[in-house]
């Protein structure tokens, strides 16, 4: 038999077998890049070490997306056996030998100082809670709301005696002290070197001036009434007659009728007074005189003693006028609540005013060491009241507690587990864990799992090489 026929299939089988064996080895070997005289040796490092980061990432994503999905984990956590395991674990530490709940034993399990730690923890949490801006505002709002509620429920007569209020009110209004203050204020206000235009608002002056000018027609009517007055007429006629006699003598006066002259003057004057230009002139005259008077200092138009009398009169008139006001009609002691009375005298809301006050004092109170001592005292007192007594649990109560635990556990898993799994990021954990392994360990793990399969692939390579070589001879 020809040796070529025998050796060719054997060599083909050896090549196929060794090729697959080398290919499998090159998945991992070499572990690092190799260089000869500075030139990188091809196919180094091995495929898996070279693509380790990508492979780890892909494995993590595949496991998270197809194996340990949110649904798979949640379904497993909600399986009846796991619910029972959770319930069994909780009950082990929740109930004492009598089947009751003793919080003291439950909390102190394994640590005799746990109560002090819990008390300090609670006190710290309370202080932290009180110092948070959001909680601070809520607490202040609650306090302000409670105070406002009580103020709205409390009428003025519940706090004060009406007679005392009225007596104090009259005593203050009629006091010498207030009188002195008023005199000083009025004296300063109507200082002798001030003009009327400085004392009275410009708009008021304009209204006064407008009123006078509006009634200028009545002034003209008054002039006409003067001409119609018999006494005035008699005196003017006599004056005209005496003037004529003085100028032209008694003989000349015989030819002139004084009464006729008066009637002519009266007639012409009335006609002139009806002319628009004359009326405008009268208005201008009145306006200029008002401006002249109001622009002059008081000492020019009012003697000092008159000014002093005016000041004294005003200082007395103001309190007397105020006392005539029945304040019971202004302040309803029976129907007005404290809140309404106070807010009526504020420019801003009482709620904002109180909020600002409490806000300014809030941090100061919290930073006081006495406040922390009080918080520690009350947290310890409340905690001791709770934990020192057994909570008696009947069979029904234990059943209800078990249902409550399972319900809360299931609700937590259904509501938060998806979010928790997302935050845990399983693919990242798997990726980081794989990257933390030595490449030799990864090789051992993979080879130990796929040993039989890889041996089969290697043997298959030899078989295929043998068959191909044999076919080549045909």
Which band of pLDDT confidence, cut at 50, 70 and 90, is reported for residue 105? Answer: low
* Side-chain half-sphere exposure of 48, counting CA atoms within 13 A: 23
The confidence score (pLDDT) of residue 224 equals 67
The confidence score (pLDDT) of residue 110 equals 52
pLDDT at position 186 over 70: yes
Who has greater pLDDT, 68 or 162? Answer: 68
Question: Residues for the chain: how many in total?
Answer: 474
DSSP per-residue letters across 342-405:
HHTT-SS-HHHHHHHHHHHHHHHHHTSHHHHHHHHHHHHHHHHHHHSSEE---HHHHHHHHHHH
The confidence score (pLDDT) of residue 412 equals 92
Say how many Å lie between the first and final Cα of the chain, rounded.
15
pLDDT at position 75 over 70: yes
pLDDT at position 1 over 80: no
pLDDT at position 354 over 80: yes
Which band of pLDDT confidence, cut at 50, 70 and 90, is reported for residue 410? Answer: very high
What's the rounded mean pLDDT across residues 354-372?
A: 83
Q: pLDDT per residue over 415-465, tens digit each?
A: 998 888 888 888 888 888 888 888 888 878 877 888 888 888 888 888 888
Tell me the H-state helices in 97-254.
103-107, 114-131, 133-153, 162-173, 176-189, 196-199, 202-214, 216-228, 230-253
pLDDT at position 292 over 60: yes
Q: pLDDT per residue over 133-161, tens digit each?
A: 888 888 888 888 888 888 887 776 666 67
- 390 DSSP β-pair partners: 102
pLDDT at position 112 over 60: no
Q: pLDDT per residue over 197-218, tens digit each?
A: 777 777 877 787 777 777 767 7
**pLDDT over 90 percentage in the chain:** 3
Q: pLDDT per residue over 224-275, tens digit each?
A: 676 677 777 677 767 766 676 676 666 555 656 667 776 777 677 777 767 7
The confidence score (pLDDT) of residue 106 equals 62
Domain boundary assignment for the chain: 1-44, 159-194+300-332, 213-296
pLDDT at position 109 over 70: no
């Amino acid at each position: 038999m020809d040796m070529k026929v025998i050796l060719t299939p054997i060599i083909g089988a050896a090549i196929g077998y060794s090729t697959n064996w080398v290919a499998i080895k090159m998945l991992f070997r070499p572990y690092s890049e190799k260089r000869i005289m500075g030139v990188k040796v091809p196919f180094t490092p091995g495929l898996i070490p070279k693509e380790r980061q990508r492979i780890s990432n892909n494995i993590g994503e595949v496991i998270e997306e197809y194996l340990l999905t949110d649904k798979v984990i949640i379904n497993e956590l909600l399986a009846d056996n796991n619910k029972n395991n959770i319930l069994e674990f909780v009950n082990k530490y929740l109930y004492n030998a009598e089947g009751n709940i003793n919080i003291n034993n439950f909390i102190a399990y394994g640590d005799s100082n746990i109560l002090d730690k819990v008390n300090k923890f609670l006190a710290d949490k309370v202080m932290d809670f009180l110092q948070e801006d959001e909680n601070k505002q809520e607490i202040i709002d609650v306090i302000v709301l409670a105070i406002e509620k009580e103020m709205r429920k409390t009428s003025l007569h519940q706090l004060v005696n009406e007679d005392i209020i009225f007596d104090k009110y009259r005593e203050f209004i009629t006091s010498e002290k207030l009188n002195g203050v008023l005199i000083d204020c009025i004296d300063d206000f109507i200082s002798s070197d001030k003009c009327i235009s400085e004392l009275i608002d410009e708009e008021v002056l304009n209204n006064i001036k407008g009123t006078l000018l509006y009634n200028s027609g009545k002034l003209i009517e008054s002039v006409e009434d003067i001409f119609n007055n018999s006494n005035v007429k008699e005196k003017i006629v006599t004056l005209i007659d005496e003037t004529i006699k003085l100028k032209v003598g008694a003989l000349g006066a015989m030819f002139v009728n004084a009464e006729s002259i008066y009637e002519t003057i009266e007639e012409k004057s009335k006609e002139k007074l009806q002319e628009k230009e004359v009326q405008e002139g009268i208005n201008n005259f009145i306006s200029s005189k008002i401006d002249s008077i109001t622009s002059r200092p008081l000492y020019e138009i009012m003697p000092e003693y008159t000014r002093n009398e005016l000041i004294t009169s005003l200082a007395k008139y103001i309190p007397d006028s105020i006392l005539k006001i029945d304040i019971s009609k202004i302040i309803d002691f029976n129907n007005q609540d404290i809140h309404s009375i106070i807010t009526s005298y504020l420019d801003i809301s009482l709620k904002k005013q109180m909020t600002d006050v409490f806000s300014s004092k809030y941090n100061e109170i919290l930073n006081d060491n006495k406040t922390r001592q009080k918080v520690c005292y009350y947290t310890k007192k409340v905690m001791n009241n709770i934990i020192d007594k057994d909570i008696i649990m009947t069979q029904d109560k234990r059943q209800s507690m078990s249902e409550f635990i399972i319900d809360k556990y299931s609700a937590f898993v259904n509501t938060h587990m998806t979010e928790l799994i997302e935050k845990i990021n399983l693919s990242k954990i798997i990726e980081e864990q794989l990257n933390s392994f030595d490449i030799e360990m990864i090789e051992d793990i993979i080879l130990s799992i796929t040993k039989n399969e890889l041996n089969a692939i290697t043997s298959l390579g030899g078989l295929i090489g043998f068959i191909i070589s044999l076919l080549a001879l045909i």
